[in-house]
């Protein structure tokens, strides 16, 4: 998508759809003096959340009439009820334009007229401060969209080895070091939690390490940990048929980590960032780990497996232990961990867990600014009683197999492997795919790349 900044519309060709934002009764496209104009209705009570949707709606309506060129006035998106600097507004507009223009069409046959995308945008009246921010927002959206494409890949075309290759490709030409540990290397590191879950598959499990050193030598890094289950059958505790569809996206946390680090490197942030992605397939076979097995993790702590479909937390246990090698400033893990988080929150926000309430508040505020919304759920000490094992240290689900509080027990399990460190767990299952009314293409949302990037950008010890 090409973005050009203009001061007036005198030389605007008739190929462009011109957009005018107003609080008219309805959205309407009319033809005036040979130029098509979209009168875009906005809510009388505008807020930041509605602003995201408004920019996306403009893109979708432009695409609906198959227009490839769009023009609008920057000042049309300034509202008295929303307190933003020109740069903040510019970054939002720049990111949402490309965010809404995205569609995953890799497996579709191209029609004769080509796929329907906006190719060029003229933005009128944008101050200099906003111009750079719009282009920055465009770069952010590009990495979010790459995350979406990675997550949308079918399971047959996205194995742990392929994910490792995609991680390398995602940072090609950037100052990011990528190391991939195979099963032999993981054996040496005693990462039996990852290896146990992955052994049911014919595909070799991988542990992907990404290192970006933009800060001072010796500065503690922020460590991002992403769940990389490239397909999840549930293992021996096989999922029902209707729950298997979409399980190619169980590596969405890993995809988010790959492209957050790529984005940090592109923006040349003066921070040290580490990405860790344990990647496996959770398959049912004669080699699969079983309900009742006891697995010794890298930490030395043992995990009593009560359900093989609670595999994400098991592999993350080793990754969180590995993260401690870096003496991290903050550890953030991202995972499509539980359907229970969707039961609790619906599909509009990811669940976050931490024992640091100020960190949770920071995450919530950044979520509102970026559109990657999050909400904190409790992680009280009392919950630890329900994951105490009978023959192992911890159980990987509630030790009485209760159907209540599943998102909390997933988080409290992870906490056992990262105690003593500043840590946030993001259960992004509610935001794995776009929902109706978001003015986005079907499929992965690319969450929470915007949240992670902005947190890193603004983080101050």
Nearest to 29 by CA among 20, 21, 37: 37
**Buried-exposed string 159-184: b where 16+ CB fall within 10 A, e elsewhere:** bbbbbbebbeebbeeeebebebbebe
Assigned token pair, 212: 């970006």
Assigned token pair, 140: 């952010």
As a whole number of angstroms, the distance between CA 63 and CA 78 comes to 23
Residue 2: what are its φ and ψ, rounded to 5°?
-90, 130
Using CA of residue 52, residue 378, residue 352, residue 435, what is the dihedral sign? negative
296 catalytic per annotation: no
Annotated catalytic residue within 313, 431, 450, 454: 313
Answer for the pair 304, 395: CB distance below 8 angstroms, yes or no.
Answer: yes
Annotated catalytic residue within 41, 190, 239, 364: 239
As a whole number of angstroms, the distance between CA 412 and CA 395 comes to 11
Answer for the pair 183, 218: CB distance below 8 angstroms, yes or no.
Answer: no
Q: For residue 197, with 0-12 CB atoms within 10 Å meaning exposed, 13-18 middle and 19 or more buried, which class applies?
A: buried
Reduce the secondary structure of 120-147 to three states and give it as a string: EEEEECCCHHHHHHHHHHHHHHHHHHHH
Residue 350: what are its φ and ψ, rounded to 5°?
-80, 150
> ∠ CA(137), CA(224), CA(296), 5° rounding?
160
As a whole number of angstroms, the distance between CA 75 and CA 86 comes to 9
First to last CA, the chain: 37
268 catalytic per annotation: no
Catalytic residues: 239, 313
């Amino acid at each position: 998508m090409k973005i050009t900044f203009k001061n007036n519309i005198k030389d605007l060709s008739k190929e462009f759809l011109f957009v005018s934002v107003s609080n008219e009764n309805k959205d309407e496209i009319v033809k005036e003096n040979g130029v098509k104009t979209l009168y875009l209705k906005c809510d009388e009570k505008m807020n930041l959340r509605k602003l995201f949707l408004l920019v996306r709606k403009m893109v979708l309506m432009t695409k609906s009439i198959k227009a490839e060129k769009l023009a609008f006035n920057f000042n049309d998106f300034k509202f008295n009820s929303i307190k933003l600097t020109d740069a903040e507004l510019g970054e939002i507009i720049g990111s949402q334009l490309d965010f809404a223009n995205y569609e995953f069409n890799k497996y579709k046959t191209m029609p004769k007229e080509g796929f329907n995308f906006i190719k060029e945008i003229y933005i009128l009246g944008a101050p200099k401060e906003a111009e750079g921010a719009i282009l920055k927002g465009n770069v952010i959206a590009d990495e979010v969209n790459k995350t979406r494409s990675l997550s949308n890949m079918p399971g047959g075309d996205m194995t742990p080895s392929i994910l490792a290759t995609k991680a390398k490709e995602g940072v090609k030409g950037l100052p990011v070091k990528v190391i991939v540990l195979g099963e032999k290397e993981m054996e040496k590191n005693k990462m039996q939690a990852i290896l146990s879950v992955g052994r049911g598959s014919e595909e070799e499990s991988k542990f992907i390490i990404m290192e970006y050193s933009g800060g001072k030598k010796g500065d503690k890094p922020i460590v991002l940990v992403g769940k990389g289950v490239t397909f999840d059958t549930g293992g021996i505790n096989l999922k029902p048929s209707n729950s298997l569809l979409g399980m190619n996206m169980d590596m969405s946390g890993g995809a988010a980590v790959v492209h957050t680090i790529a984005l940090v490197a592109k923006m040349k942030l003066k921070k040290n960032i580490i990405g860790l992605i344990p990647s496996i397939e959770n398959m049912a076979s004669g080699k699969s780990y079983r309900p009742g097995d006891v697995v010794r993790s890298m930490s030395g702590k043992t995990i009593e497996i009560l359900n093989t479909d609670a595999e994400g937390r098991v592999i993350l246990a080793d990754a969180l232990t590995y993260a401690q090698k870096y003496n991290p400033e903050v550890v953030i893990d991202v995972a499509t961990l539980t359907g229970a988080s969707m039961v609790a929150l619906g599909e509009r926000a990811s669940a976050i867990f931490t024992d640091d309430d100020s960190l949770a508040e920071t995450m919530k505020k950044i979520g509102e600014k970026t559109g990657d919304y999050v909400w904190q759920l409790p992680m009280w000490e009392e919950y630890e009683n329900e994951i105490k094992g009978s023959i192992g240290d911890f159980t990987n689900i509630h030790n009485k197999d209760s159907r209540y509080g599943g998102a909390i027990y997933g988080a409290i399990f992870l906490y056992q492997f990262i105690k003593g460190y500043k840590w946030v767990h993001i259960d992004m299952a509610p935001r794995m795919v776009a929902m109706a009314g978001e003015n986005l293409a079907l499929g992965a949302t690319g969450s929470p790349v915007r949240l992670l990037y902005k947190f890193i950008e603004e983080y101050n010890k």
